[in-house]
Chain A
Amino acid sequence: MLQSIAKLPLAVALQALSLLFSPASAATITLSIPPSPQIPNPAALPPSTHATLTALGASFLAPLTTDNTFVFRNVTPGSYLGDVHCATHGFAPLRVDVISVTAGDDDKKTGGDGVSLRVWETFRGNDWENKGEEIRPAVVGGAFPVKVLGSKIYYTERGSFNVLSILKNPMILMGLVSLALFIGMPKLVENMDPEMRAEFEEQSKKNPMNSLMSGPQPGSNPMGNFDVAGFLAGQGSGSKEESEPSSGNGGKKAGRVVYVWKFTDLAFGLLFFSSDIND
């Protein structure tokens, strides 16, 4: 975006600056936002994007520069929590350690004189020593790339009315199938040849459900006092005579209980899922 501003001398100059104005053993830390699949063009990030380093009794703030970096100057030794605040994207929190190096124990890491820098990913709500992957500085300039998690979503979609979405509902599908059976069955029976039809009707007389489905048939109603609500509620008032002793009934009940539990599991799962998103 800004070709006029030379990139390499900046880092050099900043180091020189930190030498000029900083107390002894204070570091300059540069975080950078490299182009990534989530942010193909970091230059388009809003100017309010900034990063902070916080620790007990200390906090540093750096605005986003034209080079897509955050430059912290005069950072005293310590272990800092690094956050990148952006209106459009979320970034992983960092652990930034500024370690003052005694003579001899020379580290290769960049920083000011007499300090070494180490940066890890960290996990919120976990032990501070529980570090994630260490982030290595870039070869040129020594900036530590930050990891973008994704873009922020501020809005929820309103559930819109759609005929297709209604048709996708399994309950509606079941209803439609039974409707098709209800309308199509008599037609199908009519088109059968007489022998098969007689056989079918014989069978349907034995099956209480079929008689229910094909409407009240005067005269031929073996299950005239069949209680649908009772059947569904598992009371079995109507089916007491023909159902086997309690074992069968119990089996049915158990099956339904499992079914209910499956529903609750689904609900729990949803609940956890939603809380996972938010926590």
Chain B
Amino acid sequence: MHLSFQALSLSVLLALPASVRAVFQDEVGHIDYHHELLGVPQRETTFFHRPRTEEKASLLYTLSDLGVLGAVNPSNGALVWRQLLAGNVTDGGGFLRAAEDQTWLVGAYGSSVSSWDALTGRNAWSLNSNGVVKDVEIMEITERGGKDVLALHQEPGATVARRIHGADGHVVWEHREVNKDIPLQVSTSLDKVFVVTLHGSLLSYSLKVMVLDTLTGKKLDEIPLGTKGEVQSPQDVMFVGANSAAPIVAWTDNGMTKLKVNVLGLKSKQEFALPTDTVDVEIHAPHTIQSSPHFLVHSRTKPGHKADVFHIDLKSNVITKAYELPLLEGGSAFSTSSSGANVYFTRVTDNEIIVTSSTSHGILGRWSLKSGAEKLGALHGVSEVIKKAEDSYAVRAVVVTDSDDWTQIVNGELGWTRLEGLSGAVAATWAEFPQSEDLARTLEAEAHSNPWSAYVHRVKRHIDDLQYLPTYLQSIPKRLLSSIVGSESTESTDEATRDSFGFNKLVVLATKRGKLYGLDAGNHGKIVWSKNANETPSGKHWDVKAIHADNAKGLVTVRGSEGQFIIVKSDTGNTIEAMPSSLFPAVDGATIVDSDAGPWLLPIERDGKLGDVQLAWAPKQTVVTRTGENELQGFRYVEKDELASPIPVWSFSPSTGQHIANIATRPQHDPIASIGRVLGDRTVKYKYLNPNTIVVAAVNNKTSVLSTYLLDTVSGQVLASSSYEGVDSNKDIACTLSENWFLCTYYGQYQLRDSEAQNLKGYQVVISDLYESEVANDRGPLGDAANFSSLDPIDIPTGPAIPSVVSKTFILSGPITSLAVTQTRQGIAIRQLLAYMPESHSIIAIPRMLLEPRRPVGRDPTPAELEEGLVKYVPAIELDPRMTVSHARDVLGVRSIIAAPAILESTCLVFAYGVDVFGSRVTPSQAFDILGKGFNKVTLVATVAALFIGVLGLGPMVRKKQINMRWQAPM
């Protein structure tokens, strides 16, 4: 009785904190870090806008290359709000416009046009249609005073222009033109709407301008513009012009020697010569209707860039060149800013920022950039010019630099910088800081020399080390004080090194834009190094297939899908070896294998093929590849002509009609502290711990049946399989595998096969525990054998040892994706399931005890079960906000979560990447081996002091009493 009570209270104590574990408020920002990102802003969809007409302050808006629509406070670079415009992460493109003096923005992506409140980020209206949106413009002047939206859609075989009511989003009119033209852009002047399309066939397009009536959308005119084969694709038309008083369309000839400009509504076009060797032309013009009809042509040549400013005469519609800005070396970014009729052009070069007016070439302001050692390298930007006095101007420009940062420059001073380059991460890995090489080398030398010289060397080294003693002694009082007061900080040093707790680790992050970053996880995710790792042609992304950190050598290998790879030093980012794409065959992935020459990253070619390797590098394991959409194969390497070549040993296909939805493998680091589970009655259930297992989830789209298979990777044998009906194959299906259990999550809608028919609907998770035998205290057919073979059956009838599986299904209150399992150094701490909640934008850690398949169903647990910490099964698991690792933070678009053990057994490091970058530390069994912030050192010291004083005070009293007692006469 006593014993069970003790054990019971222990289990209760363990269970209680596990179920209510949450982040403490004072740990926020101390153990976790978060880069709230938007993505790299796009040139056409970034601008300043005043969200409220009555207030002067403007916000900076952008629709980034990841499809995130966001507002940024230009004074400090802080995020005001953000939305995923298309509901998920996209691949660039989209449209964003703001109407002057209006409270809304209008954005478009894919087939949908939506309007958003500029200050709050709330949706005002959205409109879905059949076609793809090709352009969106604001109609500045309408007959009823408000502003409307013009949207151009491409439907199969038709070009559709719609005028949409700006405030409530209903369609005012629609013009449908049935033809095979490619709709290009829509533009508007005071009294007409212009729709520019490409007419003709590929490589020989001509431009066609349709003129529509603003009130009814009736076609007034159609103007063909001959281009003589100069426009070969929609990209060749550079600019269709904005809502200036005289909108234009511009394109160049094939050799980039002449710029051709047409004022929309006219049949004629004008030609202007471009500088020789022009490689790229951009046109900048104001977007407001009251601005002067001036525009700037920015031509980039190989060595430098120059700009020409043109004026359009509103009466004669003649374009004249007003002035030119001189050719300068290096790159630069131009931007326009208008106030009233005045138009200003801001030029941001590598070392200065120059403001000119559109009317004359006189420089209104010039500031040299006080940037640091790094070159700015502005690609494009936006600016706001304010006239302070008669001759004094102020400018603030926000530019996107070639390092993918978004930097603000106020009158030449660098303001804030948003590290937008970290967004769009596609792969990441943990890496250790390389150990101090000198010490390691010295120790190695000492180990290999003879004992006497090693001893002398060591004594000498220690005498040498004495010189650091005074500084160490000096630092002691300060450290003591700071440790008592509690002001000590882990981020004290600038240099990144290992720490004794193992919290300081590097994360090497690869983004789809071809950049590599080294982040210091122990220092709030600060960027240690960054580099351009992959030269990709524009529009193509770096498809990283594998990333692997070799901590023994301090190297990180990143493999792309085109066969390219790069090996960098993990602490500095210096390239050790790099291979450009298409020299090696394209790869599907890569996997870590053991060989005689050490572990290495074996590339898997397209369709799961494996190449021959040198004998020394032959993998020792069976390598499992996905050889087809629905087939897995296991390969073993055998010697053949002094090479090792792969031989398929087994293959696996799910049932016909099923396709593989997810494959889960074991984490690299998966230590098991105990091989059994002690039950309440002191019997032991032994865990089925086979390191060569994977979980394959396959789903049938037609019958909506999900099957999970637990495969032995050595033999290809299916160890366990189960089927689930009514599983939605269009929603995420994710699985994970760790220790002796695996789980899958999916959306299910099905009828229970109970006596009373019940329907269920919702996101679910099914967890399966694997044991060696169904009965306790039994080690199954293998018994206590130290070794086993997947290939040798134990006894012929049953084949290999099959695990006994216990499963339970739970209904979750929301979807979870990007599953991972916490890892600790020895695996003693309980495990938690880490997952991203895409609807709540947060990362959750679900305790394994909650997802326990052995929870008793339909009855209260017996005392023995309670002792194990098993509580009654309830089908629904409410994803408690207190279980979220990211607490109140809004972590957007997480693609994957990676976990790594710290040196402390209690702690697991967590890192999530995708759009945002988030990192934290979790302690699944609470921080039992480290004193947290809750340990009040001041109170401890005060208590000890109070006790001491108490002893000092009471001592004489007690002595006096004892003496008195001795002298008292006995009664």
Contact = CB atoms under 8 A, between A and B. Distances in A.
Are A and B genuine complex partners?
yes
A271 B15 contact: yes
B814 A66 contact: no
Contacts of A79: 761
Interface string A153-167: 111111101000000
A47 to B, nearest CB: 3
Given A218-B970, A277-B20, A124 B12 contact: no
Interface stretch (B117-125, B580-588, B613-621): B117-125
B86 to A, nearest CB: 10
A5 to B, nearest CB: 5
A15 B786 CA distance: 71
Given A48-B841, A154-B888, A17 B171 contact: yes
A248 interface: no
B128 A65 contact: no
A257 interface: yes
A85 B840 contact: yes
B543 to A, nearest CB: 27
B363 interface: no
B5 A260 contact: yes
B168 interface: yes
Contacts of A267: 8-9, 12
Interface string B379-404: 00000000000000000000000000
Interface stretch (A52-60, A98-106, A132-140): A52-60
A145 interface: no
B795 interface: no
Contact of A10 (B120, B168, B970): B168
B169 interface: yes
Interface string A66-101: 100001011000010101010100100100000000
B26 interface: yes
A215 B1 CA distance: 34
Contact of A278 (B5, B8, B20, B749): B20
Given A61-B87, A83-B814, A260-B5, A21 B20 contact: no
A158 B125 contact: no
A232 to B, nearest CB: 13
A217 B875 CA distance: 66
Contact of B171 (A20, A62, A218, A220): A20
Interface string B1-38: 10001001100100110011111111010000000000
Nearest to B750: A56
B882 A74 contact: no
A154 B887 contact: yes
B103 A274 contact: no
Contacts of B883: 278
B572 interface: no
B726 interface: yes
B167 A4 contact: yes
A71 to B, nearest CB: 8
A252 interface: no
A225 interface: no
B890 interface: yes
Nearest to A85: B839
B814 A13 contact: no
B597 interface: no
Chain A, interface residues (CB within 8 Å), range: 35 or more
Given A52-B839, A270-B16, A271-B866, A260 B124 contact: no
A128 interface: yes
Contact of B934 (A61, A85, A158): A158
B759 A129 contact: yes
B22 A155 contact: yes
B124 to A, nearest CB: 5
Nearest to A13: B170
Contacts of A158: 24-26, 933-934
B836 to A, nearest CB: 13
B971 A4 contact: no
Contacts of B20: 156, 274, 277-278
B600 interface: no
Nearest to B130: A21
Contacts of B15: 271, 274-275
Interface string A212-252: 00010111100000000000000000000000000000000
Contacts of A9: 168, 170
A56 B726 contact: yes
B169 A17 contact: yes
A277 B882 CA distance: 11
Interface in B925-941: 933-934, 936, 939
Interface in B95-151: 103, 117, 120-130
Most central of A17, A161, A218 by chain B CB within 10 Å: A17
A127 B758 contact: yes
B789 interface: no
Interface string A182-213: 00000000000000000001000000000000
Given A66-B124, A154-B888, A6 B167 contact: yes
Contact of A65 (B123, B731, B965): B123
Contacts of A152: 881
B762 interface: yes
Interface string B745-789: 001010000000011111000000000000000000000000000
Interface in A1-27: 1-2, 4-6, 9-10, 13-14, 16-17, 20-21
A129 B730 CA distance: 24
A2 to B, nearest CB: 6
Given A61-B87, A85-B839, A155-B23, A21 B759 contact: no
Contacts of B704: 56-57
B791 interface: no
Contact of A275 (B19, B730, B934): B19
Interface string B844-876: 000000100000000000000010000100111
Contacts of A56: 704, 726, 728, 747, 749, 761
Contact of B881 (A1, A127, A153, A268): A153
Nearest to B874: A279
B488 to A, nearest CB: 18
Contact of A156 (B1, B22, B83, B103): B22
Nearest to A70: B123
B840 A87 contact: yes
A128 B759 contact: yes
A200 to B, nearest CB: 13
A117 B348 CA distance: 57
B444 interface: no
A154 B890 CA distance: 13
Max chain B C-beta neighbours (<10 A), residue from A62, A66, A90, A272: A66
A268 B129 contact: no
21 contacts: A13-B170, A17-B171, A55-B749, A55-B761, A57-B704, A71-B126, A124-B811, A124-B875, A128-B761, A129-B758, A153-B881, A155-B24, A158-B24, A217-B971, A218-B970, A268-B866, A271-B16, A271-B866, A271-B871, A275-B871, A278-B19
Closest 8 CB pairs of A and B: A125-B876, A47-B121, A125-B875, A13-B170, A128-B759, A124-B876, A154-B887, A63-B123
Interface of B: 1, 5, 8-9, 12, 15-16, 19-26, 28, 81, 83, 87, 103, 117, 120-130, 165, 167-171, 704, 726, 728-731, 747, 749, 758-762, 810-811, 813-814, 839-842, 850, 866, 871, 874-878, 880-884, 887-888, 890, 933-934, 936, 939, 965, 970-971
Given A47-B81, A56-B704, A267-B8, 18 more contacts: A6-B167, A17-B170, A65-B122, A65-B123, A73-B126, A124-B811, A124-B878, A125-B762, A125-B874, A153-B882, A155-B25, A158-B25, A201-B971, A274-B15, A274-B19, A275-B871, A278-B877, A279-B877
Interface of A: 1-2, 4-6, 9-10, 13-14, 16-17, 20-21, 43, 46-48, 50, 52, 54-57, 59, 61-66, 71, 73-74, 79, 81, 83, 85, 87, 90, 93, 123-129, 152-159, 161, 201, 215, 217-220, 257, 260, 263-264, 267-268, 270-272, 274-275, 277-279
